[in-house]
Amino acid sequence: MQLGMIGLGKMGGNMARRLRRAGLQVVGYDHSGSEVESLAAESGLVAAESLQALVDKLDTPRVVWLMLPAGDITEANVRELQGLLQPGDVLVDGANSFYKDSMRRGELLAESGIHFIDAGVSGGVWGLDNGYALMVGGSDEAFAAVQPIIEALAPATDQGWIHAGPVGSGHFVKMIHNGIEYGMMQAYAEGFALMKGRDDFGLDLAAIAETWRHGSVVRSWLLDLTADVLAGDQHLEDVEPFVADSGEGRWTALESIEQGIPTPVMSLALMTRFASQGQQDYSSKLLAMMRNQFGGHAVRSAGD
């Protein structure tokens, strides 16, 4: 089994390593040529110096896996590969792409006879050793062509992957997965904040997290990671209270609105990240001024 992997960063690089460990042939390309060379030397991956070279090094029908940032970069690569691939080839997008973009790309590539697979990949930097959870959308025919790759990336050949449905369904399920992740992370964070706030008990937050990992109802892999964080530093004084969001949370909130099905917790977890980014500041300023206006309450000046 052979595939081309485009994008050899944190995710793509480790996925290539895991596929090499499983004995698959991997032709790799990355915009950083040095990344490709070092991975080739380490893992026996075949380095390609361009998309064209990668395509040329693969036997037909080809399987090419994109592991690039979602959005413009993935879009540009899909369009370039549409010109390089042949009918019957399979193009897989493993990024956290918006599922409606994937549906559109599936239709676009179908015009050239190229199969499209959208694969949501979970597991982060731990996937190399633990395996990745894979949520895959595409036709039965295209899925059959990539199934050996999916099975090699997953924690076990019969575990942790699903052919969810047609093109788009893989990224849809991954989007929901990440939306749930937003809510879970926020719940843990709020709980630890209340324990930190109750300082008269002298609680050891690291020890509590460690305790909860064993036998408690809230045990989870996210709690395992949280326990590691708190074991290293439970005061977090050097961490800025800024939480980025990466698209999946927003799309989940949009899906809720489109379907008219409420997702209060997932949506508010997203809004809370916006607030952490300073985007609640204007409304807070305005509220302070309103209180001043009707009650004469003091307003703090920004320079104080």
Q: Identify the residue among 183, 230, 249, 250 touching its own copies (CB under 8 A).
A: 183
Distance in angstroms (rounded) separating the CA atoms of residues 100 and 184:
25
Distance in angstroms between the alpha carbons of the first and the last residue of the chain: 65
Distance in angstroms (rounded) separating the CA atoms of residues 197 and 79:
52
Residues in the chain: 304
Nearest approach, Cβ of residue 191 and its own copies (Å): 4
Q: Which one of 37, 75, 80, 181 is the catalytic residue?
A: 181
Whether residue 55 contacts residue 114, with contact meaning beta carbons closer than 8 Å, is answered with no
Tell me, residue by residue from 91 to 130, as one string, x for binding to its own copies by CB under 8 A and - for no binding. -------------------------------xxx--x--x
Nearest approach, Cβ of residue 48 and its own copies (Å): 28
Nearer to its own copies, 143 or 161 (CB): 161
Binding of residue 297 to its own copies (CB under 8 A): no
174 labelled catalytic: yes
Site for its own copies in 191-210 (CB under 8 A): 191-195, 197-198, 201-204, 207-208
Nearest approach, Cβ of residue 49 and its own copies (Å): 33
Question: C-alpha angle 103/177/232, rounded to 5°?
Answer: 135
Binding of residue 14 to its own copies (CB under 8 A): no
Q: 140: exposed, middle or buried (C-beta count within 10 Å: 0-12, 13-18, 19+)?
A: exposed
Nearest approach, Cβ of residue 29 and its own copies (Å): 26
| Site size toward its own copies, by CB under 8 A | 78
Whether residue 162 contacts residue 134, with contact meaning beta carbons closer than 8 Å, is answered with yes
* Strand, helix or coil for residue 166: coil
Strands of the sheet with 46-47, listed across from one edge: 46-47, 25-29, 2-6, 63-66, 90-93, 115-122, 133-137, 161-165
Nearer to its own copies, 77 or 169 (CB): 169
Nearer to its own copies, 110 or 218 (CB): 218
Q: Identify the residue among 77, 179, 248, 273 touching its own copies (CB under 8 A).
A: 179
Stretch that binds its own copies, among 1-9, 45-53, 181-189, 287-295 (CB under 8 A): 181-189
Site for its own copies in 210-229 (CB under 8 A): 211-223
Residue with tokens 């099975």: 151
100 labelled catalytic: no
Site for its own copies in 239-258 (CB under 8 A): 252, 255-256
- Per DSSP, the residues of 34-92 read HHHHHHHHHH-PEE-SSHHHHHHHSPSSPEEEE-S-TTHHHHHHHHHHHHH--TT-EEE
Binding of residue 177 to its own copies (CB under 8 A): yes
Site for its own copies in 131-170 (CB under 8 A): 131-135, 137, 154-156, 159-162, 164-166, 168-169
Distance in angstroms (rounded) separating the CA atoms of residues 137 and 146:
11
Site for its own copies in 256-275 (CB under 8 A): 256, 259, 261-266, 268-269, 271-272
Annotated catalytic residues are 174, 181
